Amino acid sequence: MIVLQALVNGLVSGTLLAVPAIGFTAMFAVLRFPNFSVSGVATLGAFAGYLAYGAGLQMAGSLAVAFIVAGAAGLFFDKVAHLPLVKQGALPAAIASIATGLVLENVVRLGFGNEPRGYDRPIARDVYLGDIRVSPQQLETMALALALMLAVFTALAFTRIGKAMRASADNPELAALKGIRPERIAMMASFVGMGLVGVGGMLFGLDSSIDPLTGTRILLSIFAAAVLGGLGSAPGAVLGAFLIGMAEELSVLVVGSQYRAAVGFVAILLVLTLRPRGLLGERAF
């Protein structure tokens, strides 16, 4: 029974994790460097959403604010700091992205301090399905996350820009030959990718509380989900997120909650040793 409850909890946190993991992996597919500033951007999104929610916006509206603010920050930093460095290789850009993540984290710290803050959501009684307990709030955040993911996949599958993005991720030269402008695709990837990361930060904040390290705490899980599914693969990121979410919850039963964050690292090592291209390979979609 405890195991079943852990699996359900894992399903919930996996759904939340899938959102930033898709964002991270999509950026990797198009921009070709691991963007470590997801930690700072997730924090920024969480605080932007917090302010919007405090100002009286609905949950969906607050998430939209988190998306736009985080996306804009991602676009800005890619433009001024990361992408100019990608020409020298993925490493300089990755290193710069650590610095930009740190910048965002500390801008938030300057404004809000280190104390944790909670979104003031109405309190609701837990729902029991048999012996499994879920809170209506968890269900709400899960539904929002699922809706957002559905929107992303629909856009990738059916819209012009979505198809262009996939084409560009698969083979940039060929896509450019077909008249797809790579800079526009890159900008789109920066904005949407980091927007998703920002929403992810807020979704995790809704479940507990937020502080400047909110993003840093989910960083390894995001990486693990993306690497597990195959770096650059959006469906892989979703699969990876569910697996990591459940593995993290199960690990709490075995080694206690303090090693939750290590699960992602162990998963990354295992995948890289046994199946280096991830479960679904590195194809974008």
Name the site residues for other proteins (rule: CB under 8 A): 28, 33-34, 36, 80-81, 84-85, 88-92, 94-96, 98-100, 102-103, 105-107, 109-110, 113-114, 219-220, 223-224, 227, 231, 258-259, 261-262, 264-265, 268-269, 272-273, 276
Rounded least distance, CB 115 to other proteins, Å = 9
E strand or H helix at 223, and its extent? helix 214-229
Name the CA dihedral angle for 37, 223, 157, 49, rounded to a multiple of 10 degrees: -50
Instruction: Check: CB of residue 17 under 8 Å from CB of residue 222.
Output: yes
Would you say 54 or 84 has its CB closer to other proteins? Answer: 84
Beta-carbon count within 10 A of 134 CB: 17
* CA separation for the pair 272, 285 (Å, rounded): 21
Rounded least distance, CB 212 to other proteins, Å = 8
Would you say 12 or 75 has its CB closer to other proteins? Answer: 75
Rounded least distance, CB 123 to other proteins, Å = 30
Would you say 11 or 81 has its CB closer to other proteins? Answer: 81
Would you say 211 or 249 has its CB closer to other proteins? Answer: 211
Classify the C-alpha dihedral 93-186-189-248 as positive or negative.
Answer: negative
Would you say 115 or 120 has its CB closer to other proteins? Answer: 115
Would you say 107 or 279 has its CB closer to other proteins? Answer: 107
Beta-carbon count within 10 A of 107 CB: 16
Rounded least distance, CB 1 to other proteins, Å = 27
Instruction: Check: CB of residue 93 under 8 Å from CB of residue 212.
Output: no
Rounded least distance, CB 269 to other proteins, Å = 5
Residue among 73, 33, 31 at smallest CA distance from 196: 73
Rounded least distance, CB 45 to other proteins, Å = 19
Q: φ and ψ at 16, to 5 degrees? A: -65, -40
